[in-house]
Chain A
Amino acid sequence: MPTYQIEVNGTTSSVDVSTDTPLLWVLRDHLDLVGTKYGCGIGQCGACTVHVDGTAMRSCALTLEQVQGKSIRTIEGLSENGDHPVQEAWKEVDVPQCGYCQAGQIMTAAAFLEQNPAPSEEEIKNAMHGNICRCATYNRIHRAVEKAAENMG
């Protein structure tokens, strides 16, 4: 099995895994970063969303080969104290029900607002459309993204 160096939340680790192992399972099983969730494994639900060089990507659909030399950020590293404006907004609006999808939602929203700090309603809907929330907290997710945009602006 090849050895890979990967940089996650500012720390570089080396892991021995087969070439086809998705980043998701490296994070969860090898690096003990279980905040990134498994929902579908095929890029359909967004529960596994992480930032790769600042862009929101599906970690279940990335191999380590594809993230060589890139910097990866997970929910655990989004902020030091859980106080990223998106996390703050999530708290203010009390978004979660079961909570399982929310790390992915937050990571998607954070990357999106970085690129589009003052989004329209339509743009928020489009940006968050790829993340499934089985508990259907969609109204609150929308409100929290708006709130985060306000707080960041």
Chain B
Amino acid sequence: MSKNPNIQFSRRAFMRTTGLAGGGMLIGFNLFQACKPQVKPPVDLSQLDYNDFNAFIKIADNGAVTIFSPNPEIGQGVKTSMPMIIAEELDVAWKDVYVEQGILDTENYTRQVAGGSQSIRFGWDALRQTGATAKQMLVNAAAARWGVEASDCTVSEGVITNTKTEETLGYGDVVNEASQLEIPEDVALKAPKDYKIIGTEQRNVDIDDIITGKPLYGLDYKEDGMVYAAVARPPAFGQKLVSFDDSEARAMPGVIDVIRFGDKVHKMAEENPRLSGMMGESEKVAVIAKTTWQALKAKEALQLEWEDGDLESTEDHDKILVDLLDGNEFRTMRSDGDVDKAFAGADKVLERTYESPFLPHNCLEPMNFFANVTDEKIHMVGPIQTPEGTANMAAGILGRTPEEVHLEMTRMGGGFGRRLYGDFALEAVEIADQIKKPVKVVFSREDDMNDGIYRMAIKYRIKAGIKDGEVVAYHLKEAAVNSNMYGLIPHFFPAGAIENYKVDVASYDSNITTGAWRAPYTNFLAYAEQSFFDELAELMDVDRVQLRLDLLKKVDAEADENIAYSPERMIDVVNKAVELSDWGNQPSNVYQGFVNYYCHNTHVAEVADVEIQNGEAVVKKITCVVDCGIVVNPLGALNQIEGGVIDGVGHSMYGELAFENGKPMATNFDTYRLIRMKEAPKVEVHMMQNEYSPTGLGEPTLPPAGGAIANAFKAATGNRLYKQPFAKYPELLKPKQQEIIG
């Protein structure tokens, strides 16, 4: 086994061990922070809680390894890939590893967030060190028993060999002794070339339960005496509840109660303006019934009176955002050189504006949450990506302590950013507190789509100056509803490649709630910039890919600490995509579009192949090349990549939530179009092989897809697309009419 001497931090502070009462060893560990000084894992598994540890590893005296983690699964496969990393360094066979999702008794759980596709990136070092440290303890125990040095022992798949005598001991044989040992410092990590589990294809650990319909999701959770709540919320953003008549609803079968609620959450939001964006402003009415259907039906029978405030429409937003772009009220997020001077001296200037609508998340499992509030505790169960924050807020609105909250995470029927926000969980808590019964709040699809926390509408205006055949100036302006791009984005490509470069942002405060949506900001920005590069290449009369390569070659990432992307890795990805997509060598009926993009620490290039069928451009295939460092589980990674690409194609083709007087104009999947089987292109994926630490996968393949198809559509039809969703402009998806002469 080769050793990597670069140990960065000691595991000693981050993990603790105990012997289990029934035999075996339990290791509690934290990923990102030291354990509190006195804590120890329990000696009895029924006492597991996650106040002091992120996760536990149990090594039984038969050698079986069980990993207990409360980390939720939203479909990114981390529930499979994170244990794979531990198992690799622990050196056990994957088939001997079991994964169990634990309960979160929150307080101490940093990065307990299944968002940002970054879980693997942040856990990589800590998970490896935890596994390696546990292994070292087992080896030390075996060495002590044999009276040899630990260095005289080797390990393979849970079996320790004394190289002097060829004697062997299984982990199970020494686990009780190991649990009594000091936690060692300075353990060695494996070199990537020695990996046996990382890099192998492993199935989703929940696959059997999923394909047989086991109750895994929040919506499936039940408890004795549980009742259901359907909530009436304002039909339009900007409306507030005045009064309601529930006489008809109360007379309906199964209805237990009808209550007004929401004041507690609003009090908290007033004290903490940061939260108001996710809460809406109105109080609400909950119908409590014995079954889901009864609650949903009776809700429809409520007579509700709403008072109008500011009711906004898409038309207003369009005008406001364009005014912002035309104006001078910007916040500058990066500025190199002097763009204005460079534009003044340029030979040619290109300026384009790109526009996008609001998008709902549309997780296939609608929002829902269970709560039971008693004198002893606040019990919460459901799909949430931010358990700690949500538990704290729950305690906050009821004036209780976080220690009283007992929050269990279920598997999630999709996240895409929506389940970062705890609004639906707080509804459950507030209702449960009032009715003193265990209750589950269930959103209908309409509730889910119309009371969302949406991807905001955004417009970009990009201007570039060309002088002597070079791009000398680049100015990106963003006008967005509610909030602007986060601080890393202005340093993404082409930052560093163009001497005079500036990113300016402006926003408009709306009462429509907005938030993170898979690959925030870049989900639209990538399309805007990459469409623009194509037009720039046309104007400069250079090859579309060559323009990108020329720019990348100018970047000195070392010279600028803000630049996190690697031009070298990006160039490799671009070249690979050119090769695999057979760029430029397609038959005459295939039109291609190219994009390379960096976000979430991952470098991606995508090539879209478009054909004309029945007079209309159709996306047939996307070639996707990804550099995400070491790939822990290629089978899961491929799924993420394919899904991200098709999601990106789908939303740029069809996704749109317009508003009229505050009211969302789509309510369900009959009026909101999601991509389906026949529209889904074939995705061909290549993952670069290297030994860089793993980076995000759930998000970075989505942003480039919209740009790749827009560029291919232009090649196929002659039409440039400046607005999403593309399918809204069917005339632009048809080839331009040839001029008929004579």
Residues of A at the B interface (CB closer than 8 Å) are 1, 17-18, 20-22, 25, 28-30, 32-42, 44-45, 47, 74-76, 78, 82, 87, 90-91, 94, 96-103, 106, 125-126, 128-142
Tell me which residues across on chain A come within 8 A of B219, comparing CB atoms.
34, 37-38
Instruction: In the A-B complex, list the 7 residue pairs whose CB atoms are closest, starting with the nearest.
Output: A35-B213, A100-B413, A98-B75, A75-B213, A136-B646, A138-B680, A97-B75
Residues of B within 8 A of A96 (CB): 75, 204, 206-207, 210-211
Using A40-B668, A132-B674 as known contacts, say yes or no to A34 and B215 having CB atoms under 8 A apart: yes
The interface stretch among B271-279, B326-334, B384-392, B634-642 is B634-642
Cβ of B150 under 8 Å from chain A: no
Q: For the complex, what is the distance from the CA of A80 to the CA of B583, rounded to whole Å? A: 49
Does the CB pair A141–B414 fall under 8 Å? no
A44 CB contacts on chain B under 8 angstroms: 668-670
Q: How many contacting A-B pairs (Cβ < 8 A)?
A: 179
State in angstroms the CA–CA spacing of A99 and B678 once bound together.
20
Interfacial chain B residues near A94, Cβ < 8 Å: 203-204, 207, 635-636, 639
For A101, list chain B residues within 8 Å (CB). 364, 413
Task: Point out the residue from A18, A25, A100 that lies within 8 Å of B365, measured CB to CB.
Answer: A100
Report A120 CB to chain B, min CB distance, Å: 13
Are B75 and A76 in contact, with the CB atoms below 8 A? no
Contact A82–B211 (Cβ < 8 Å): yes
Q: How far is the CA of A129 from the CA of B73 in the complex (A)?
A: 26
The reply on B319 being an interface residue by CB < 8 A is no
- A-B contacts, 7 of them at CB < 8 A, read A41-B444, A75-B213, A100-B365, A125-B678, A129-B676, A137-B643, A138-B646
Instruction: Confirm or deny: B281 has a beta carbon within 8 angstroms of a beta carbon on chain A.
Output: no
Of listed A47, A125, A126, A133, residue having the most chain B CB within 10 A: A133
- The answer to whether residues A135 and B669 also contact, given A94-B639, A97-B639, A106-B211 and a CB cut-off of 8 A, is no
Return the contact of B220 from the options A34, A125, A131, A140 (Cβ within 8 A): A34
Other-chain contact of A134, B212, B297, B674, B677 (Cβ < 8 Å): B674
How many Å from the CB of B77 to the closest CB on chain A? 7
Contact string against A for B residues 477-521, beta-carbon threshold 8 Å, 1 for contact and 0 otherwise: 000000000000000000000000000000000000000000000
Which of these, A36, A42, A91, A129, contacts B208 with CB under 8 Å? A91
- Which of B365, B646, B674 has most A Cβ within 10 Å? B365
How many chain B residues touch the partner (CB < 8 A)? Answer: 63
Which chain B residues have a beta carbon within 8 Å of chain A's beta carbons?
Answer: 73-77, 203-204, 206-208, 210-217, 219-220, 222, 228, 253, 291-294, 297, 362-366, 411-416, 444-445, 635-636, 639-640, 642-647, 650, 668-670, 674-678, 680, 682-683
Task: Contact check, B643 vs A136: say whether CB atoms are below 8 A apart.
Answer: yes
The verdict on A82 contacting B212 (CB below 8 Å), with A20-B297, A99-B75, A140-B642 known, is: yes
Q: Report the nearest A residue to B208, measured CB to CB.
A: A82
- Name the residue of chain B whose CB is nearest to the CB of A29: B291
Besides A90-B207, A139-B646, 4 more A-B contacts (Cβ < 8 Å) are: A34-B219, A91-B211, A98-B412, A129-B678
Chain B residues lying within 8 Å of A136, measured Cβ to Cβ, are 642-647, 650, 675, 680
Which residues of A sit under 8 angstroms from B670, Cβ to Cβ?
Answer: 42, 44
Which residue on B lies nearest to A75, using beta carbons?
Answer: B213
Q: Given A30-B291, A94-B203, A35–B365 Cβ distance below 8 Å?
A: no
Cross-chain contact B413 with A139 (CB below 8 angstroms): no
Residue of A nearest to B213 (CB): A35
Q: Smallest Cβ distance from A85 to chain B, in angstroms? A: 12
Q: Point out the residues of chain A lying under 8 angstroms from B647, CB to CB.
A: 135-136
Kindly provide the distance from the CB of A128 to the nearest chain B CB, expressed in whole angstroms.
4
Which B residues are CB-close (under 8 A) to A76? 212-213
Q: Which residues from chain A contact B678 at a C-beta distance below 8 Å?
A: 125-126, 129
Residues of A within 8 A of B204 (CB): 94, 96, 99
Closest residue of B by beta carbon distance from A142? B677
Which one, B213, B215, B366, contacts A38 given CB within 8 A?
A: B366
* Residue on A nearest B362 in the bound complex, by CB: A134
Q: In whole Å, how far is B226's beta carbon from the nearest beta carbon of chain A? A: 10
